[in-house]
Amino acid sequence: SDNINRIIDHKLFSEDDIHNMCVRLGKQLTQDYAGKKPLVVGALKGAIFFLTDLTRQMDVDEEMDFLDVSSYGNSMKSSGTVKLISDMATDVKGRDVLIVEDVVDTGLTLKFMKDLIGGRGAKSVKCCALLNKEVNRTVDVDVDYYGSKVGNEFVVGYGLDFMNYFRNIPYVGVLKPEIIKEFNNK
């Protein structure tokens, strides 16, 4: 579309690419969580698109809940601290928890969530992320499952935002530098 072409420099992962990642990960998770009744925890807001597609490829009895956490706010860089904006209601004690993320970057957000959930007595805490930006990792945390590694480009779409915009682009693409300038001048 005209508006997307204005925003995206190039496509990194197409809708087909993403679908294939969901199918592959869904099969793996179906095997690994067979008979376990996992609690799937989505990290708002970025993970919602991936969570809805991934969980529909998981053939297990699963519950869902959401944690609203934020480290970037409207900035391009991690603030270095993670804020819990809104907690989940489900008791995680004794549960097999699978955190779903759109991207793990520095790892701060994932570490925060794993420590929070582990500290509340979950039986296991793992993470499935669409993208693993391993090159930016500053804290030691396992991304147990992921769709693809990604380099240090500023990617948007399929849940990933720039200043809370562009989450609704149906694929993952690299943002044009001039769009960053345009929004920063507003």
Q: Which is nearer to ligand PRP, 23 or 135 (CB)?
A: 135
- Find tokens 């004690």 and name the residue: 93
Strand partners, 100: 42, 128
Active site residue 16: no
Task: Choose the one of Mg ion, ligand PRP, Mn ion, none that binds residue 55, judging by a C-beta under 5 to 8 angstroms depending on kind.
Answer: none
Element containing residue 39 per DSSP (H, E): strand 39-44
Q: Which is nearer to ligand PRP, 64 or 123 (CB)?
A: 64
As a whole number of angstroms, the longest Cα–Cα distance in the chain is 52
Task: Choose the one of ligand PRP, Mg ion, Mn ion, none that binds residue 71, judging by a C-beta under 5 to 8 angstroms depending on kind.
Answer: ligand PRP
The single residue among 161, 165, 167, 171 that binds Mg ion, judged by CB under 5 A, is: 161
Binding mask 106-145 for Mg ion (x = CB under 5 A): ----------------------------------------
Element containing residue 85 per DSSP (H, E): strand 83-86
In angstroms, what is the minimal distance from the CB of 37 to ligand PRP?
25
**Pairing assessment for the beta strands 8-13 and 145-149 based on DSSP bridges:** unpaired
C-alpha span between 157 and 137 (Å, rounded): 21
**Is the distance from CB of 167 to CB of 161 less than 8 angstroms?**
yes
- Find tokens 């090159």 and name the residue: 135
In angstroms, what is the minimal distance from the CB of 163 to Mg ion?
8
Residues annotated as part of the active site: 105
Residues that bind Mg ion (CB under 5 A): 72, 161
